[in-house]
Amino acid sequence: MGFPVDSSQPSKRSRLRKWLTGALIALVVLASPFVVMEVAFNIATAPMVAIADKMRPDPSWSEDGHNVAGGPFCIRYTVPCDSMWRAYRTEQHVTPADVQRISDEALGGANVEGDCETSPLPAGLTGAYTACSATGIIDGYDVEIKVLKLADYDDVERIIQFRLSSIKNR
């Protein structure tokens, strides 16, 4: 003969299963707004990123940073919504032909302004200046390619920026 089993009390395994199920449901409920925001951001910024992806840098340039702002939950605080930039650095000379190649591929052949070398700043000033650039409008975005150079003549480093901004930000 066995001992009588009281079926009115749930077993330890059943309580653990209920607790884990509840914890999993709570985790999904807490995480879902963040997942929705991320998916909405990726969908909303995809056209802009696709345009930026057409601007292919020279393989010798090293990526310095990037930022993408936009989507339905964007709050215009320090960066305009629906805008992005990518920056690259190199110690090699960047020529107008380099910028023209990128312009031809991404901007449909916008003209390059500047020679990518000479400084428009008076002697003795410090800071970065635009040595050359190309601009255009693609699919509702202002697109700009800039080569920045430091005013210090001993510094050979160049910064190449790809910038996009919705024409709504004008």
- Residue 169, pLDDT > 60, answer yes
Residue 9 has pLDDT above 80, yes or no: no
Residue 3, domain member (yes or no): no
CB atoms within 10 A of CB 65: 10
Q: Which residue has the higher pLDDT, 4 or 131?
A: 131
pLDDT for residue 13: 82
Give the pLDDT confidence score for residue 86 in this predicted structure: 93
| pLDDT above 70 (res 8) | no
Asked if residue 164 is part of any domain, the answer here is yes
Domain assignment present for residue 113? The answer is yes
Whether residue 150 is predicted with pLDDT greater than 70 in this model: the reply is: yes
pLDDT (0 to 100) of residue 122: 57
C-alpha distances in angstroms, 99 versus 51, 62, 75, 95, 102?
A: 16, 16, 33, 7, 5
Name the residue with tokens 């079926």: 7
The answer to whether position 131 is within a domain reads: yes
Residue 152 maps to a domain: yes
pLDDT at 2: 56
Q: What is the dihedral of CA 22, 28, 30, 35, to 10 degrees?
A: 180
Q: Does residue 62 sit within a domain?
A: yes
pLDDT band (50, 70, 90) for residue 24: very high
- Per residue in 37-55, pLDDT (tens digit) is 888 888 888 998 998 898 8
pTM above 0.75, yes or no: no
Indicate the average pLDDT of the chain. 83
- Statement: residue 166 has pLDDT above 60: yes
Query: Could you tell me the residue range of the domain that residue 39 belongs to?
Result: 33-169
Residue 74: burial class (beta carbons within 10 Å; 0-12, 13-18, 19+) = middle
Q: Return the sign of the alpha-carbon dihedral for residues 8, 14, 16, 21.
A: negative
Question: How many domains does the chain contain in total?
Answer: 1
Structure token digits, residue 23: 């914890």
In a domain, 19, yes or no: no
pLDDT tens figures, 98-144: 999 999 988 888 899 988 877 556 566 667 788 899 999 988 899 99
Dist CA 28 CA 24 (whole Å): 6
Examine residue 11 and state whether it is found in any structural domain, yes or no.
no
Q: Which residue has the higher pLDDT, 24 or 79?
A: 24
Q: With 80 as the cut, is the pLDDT of residue 153 above it?
A: no
